């Protein structure tokens, strides 16, 4: 192949490239590709992977009068011979600027698309969160509504169990135990489990009472009323005849300590009258006062009478507990009488002041915490454990 033919081939490739790209130059790697396999072969066995030095050495002898090779920005180009490096550099700079501008435009478009996607995502998330919150609120409202209905049902079950009576021993069948969430056990629910289960559903009309029967505790469901009223009704049911405290204790669903306080309150109010006191067993006889009991009709006489009864009951309790000893522990007296702390301490101070009893210190280290707490500390902060009765 003549030299001019190779030159023509190079000029033809450059011209075709100018038509396609409007550029007066051709980057060397593009030239290597546009030569094609046939053209590379014509130039002495160039390959698709030939380096720039290999390409330069082969084509440089065939540039002719119209073509030239240029190195711009570390890259190599084929251009027409009358093109100056400055013109080529300016054209390349313009192309680079266009590329940078295009990239910036593409980046802006991408950022815009990303921002729009983010807005859509945020809006979608907000919508889903709102829907989820709405569903949760509806669920909670439904659960609350169901719970309210269930609570009403539980309250109604308790009212039905009580019926028209004042009080009744609480006994729940298996279905009712399930309704109140009481776990099934082989021995049945404990008093504490029953009390805990029904307490939130007693409302303003009902109350629960606990009473110990031997070793077992019994829960009673009762109409809500003061305990004095409940005990007074039981006492009045005995009529005008004398009755024992034990009879009332068997009749009403109140434990002995609370009942002792109620008896004391009824005695103080003149609604009960003591008819018999036993040194060993304390009060053994009570009755409802009648109009004929004129000696109890005046409040001051009632107060005196009740004070005397407390003295007698205190002494009877002392005699019953001492069991041959000359002293009794104060904590035992306090527990046995079951009085309020104020009532017990007041009588203790009175009997000590008039010399009826003597108080004695003791070794607190040998006592339980409960016994120590139920002993007595006087106004001078002296601690006493035992009491003795003045010898007659």
Residue 102 has pLDDT above 80, yes or no: yes
pLDDT at 328: 94
pLDDT at 385: 94
Q: Rounded CA gap, 170 and 198, in Å?
A: 10
pLDDT at 387: 94
What mean pLDDT comes out for the span 80-107?
81
Q: What one-character DSSP code corresponds to residue 294?
A: G
Question: Max Cα separation, the chain?
Answer: 159
Q: Would you say domain 225-301 falls under CATH 1.10.760.10?
A: no
- The pLDDT mean for the chain works out to 84
CA angle 364, 365, 369 (to 5 degrees): 70
pLDDT range class, residue 305, cuts 50, 70, 90 = low
CA angle 14, 19, 25 (to 5 degrees): 40
What mean pLDDT comes out for the span 8-35?
85
pLDDT at 280: 62
Q: Rounded CA gap, 370 and 382, in Å?
A: 18
More confident residue, 43 or 3: 43
More confident residue, 341 or 43: 341
pLDDT at 302: 42
pLDDT at 296: 44
Q: Which two tokens stand for residue 101?
A: 């501008």
The DSSP string of 299-346 is HHHHHHHHHHHHHHHHHHHHHHHHTT-SEEEHHHHHHHH---HHHHHH
Residue (of 250, 253, 238) closest to 206 by Cα position: 253
Residue pLDDT, tens place only, 246-286: 888 888 888 877 887 787 778 767 788 777 776 666 678 88
Q: Is 118 helix (H, G, I), strand (E, B) or coil?
A: helix
Q: Rounded CA gap, 240 and 70, in Å?
A: 137
Q: Rounded CA gap, 42 and 334, in Å?
A: 127
Residue 208 has pLDDT above 80, yes or no: yes
Among the residue ranges 12-16, 68-72, 79-83, 323-327, the one predicted with the least confidence is: 79-83
Q: What one-character DSSP code corresponds to residue 180?
A: T
pLDDT at 372: 92
Q: Rounded CA gap, 19 and 359, in Å?
A: 128
Sort strands 357-360 and 376-377 into parallel, antiparallel or unpaired: unpaired
pLDDT range class, residue 45, cuts 50, 70, 90 = confident
Residue pLDDT, tens place only, 137-192: 999 989 989 889 988 998 989 989 888 888 898 888 888 888 888 888 877 888 88
Q: Rounded CA gap, 126 and 123, in Å?
A: 5
Q: Which two tokens stand for residue 286?
A: 């009570």
pLDDT range class, residue 382, cuts 50, 70, 90 = very high
| Domains 3-83 and 225-301 equal at CATH topology level | yes
pLDDT at 298: 44
- 194 in Cβ contact with 170 (< 8 Å): yes
pLDDT at 295: 46
Residue (of 341, 255, 275, 267) closest to 310 by Cα position: 267
pLDDT at 294: 44
Ordered by start, the domain boundaries in the chain are 3-83, 122-224, 225-301, 325-392
Backbone angles phi, psi at 221, to 5 degrees: -100, 130
Q: Rounded CA gap, 14 and 78, in Å?
A: 8
pLDDT at 292: 61
What mean pLDDT comes out for the span 87-113?
84
- 77 in Cβ contact with 70 (< 8 Å): yes
Topology (CATH) of 3-83: Arc Repressor Mutant, subunit A (1.10.10)
Residue 377 has pLDDT above 90, yes or no: yes
pLDDT at 3: 56
CA angle 3, 9, 12 (to 5 degrees): 140
Location of structure tokens 């001019």: 4
Residue (of 6, 29, 26, 27) closest to 17 by Cα position: 26
Burial 212-229 (b: 16+ CB within 10 A, else e): eeeeeebbbbbbeeebee
Residue (of 225, 219, 190) closest to 206 by Cα position: 225
Residue pLDDT, tens place only, 215-244: 888 899 999 888 888 888 888 888 778 888
More confident residue, 295 or 30: 30
Q: Rounded CA gap, 155 and 206, in Å?
A: 9
Q: Rounded CA gap, 71 and 85, in Å?
A: 8
Host H or E run for residue 364: none
């Amino acid at each position: 192949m003549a030299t001019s033919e190779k030159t023509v081939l190079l000029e033809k490739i450059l011209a075709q490239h100018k038509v396609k790209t409007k550029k007066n130059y051709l980057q060397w790697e593009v030239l290597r590709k546009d030569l094609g396999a046939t053209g590379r072969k014509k130039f002495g066995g160039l390959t698709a992977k030939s380096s720039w030095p290999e390409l330069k050495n082969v084509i440089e002898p065939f540039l002719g009068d119209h073509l030239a090779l240029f190195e711009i920005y570390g890259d190599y180009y084929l251009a027409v011979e009358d093109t100056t490096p400055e013109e080529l550099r300016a054209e390349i700079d313009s192309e680079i600027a266009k590329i940078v501008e295009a990239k910036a435009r593409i980046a802006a478009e991408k950022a815009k698309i990303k921002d729009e996607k983010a807005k859509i995502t945020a809006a979608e998330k907000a919508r889903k969160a709102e829907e989820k919150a709405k569903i949760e609120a509806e669920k909670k409202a439904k659960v609350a509504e169901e719970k309210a209905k269930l609570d009403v049902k539980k309250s109604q079950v308790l009212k039905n169990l009580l019926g028209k009576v004042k009080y009744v021993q609480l006994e729940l069948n298996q279905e009712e135990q399930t309704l109140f969430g009481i776990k099934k056990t082989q021995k049945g629910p404990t008093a504490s489990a029953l009390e805990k289960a029904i307490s939130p559903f007693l409302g303003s009309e009902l109350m629960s009472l606990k009473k110990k029967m031997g070793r077992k505790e019994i829960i009673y469901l009762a109409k809500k009323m003061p305990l004095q009223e409940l005990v007074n009704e039981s006492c009045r049911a005995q009529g005008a005849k004398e009755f024992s405290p034990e009879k009332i204790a068997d009749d009403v669903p109140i434990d002995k300590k609370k009942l002792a306080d109620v008896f004391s309150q009824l005695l103080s109010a003149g609604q009960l009258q003591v008819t018999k006191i036993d040194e060993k067993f304390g009060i053994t006889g009570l009755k409802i006062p009648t109009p004929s009991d004129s000696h109890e009709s005046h409040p001051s006489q009632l107060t005196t009478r009740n004070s005397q009864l407390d003295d007698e009951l205190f002494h009877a309790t002392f005699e019953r507990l001492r069991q041959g000893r000359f002293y009794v522990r104060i904590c035992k007296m306090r527990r046995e009488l079951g009085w309020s702390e104020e009532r017990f301490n007041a009588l203790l101070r009175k009997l000590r002041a008039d010399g009826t009893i003597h108080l004695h210190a003791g070794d607190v280290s040998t006592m339980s915490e409960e016994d120590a707490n139920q002993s007595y500390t006087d106004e001078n902060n002296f601690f006493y454990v035992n009491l003795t009765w003045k010898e007659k």
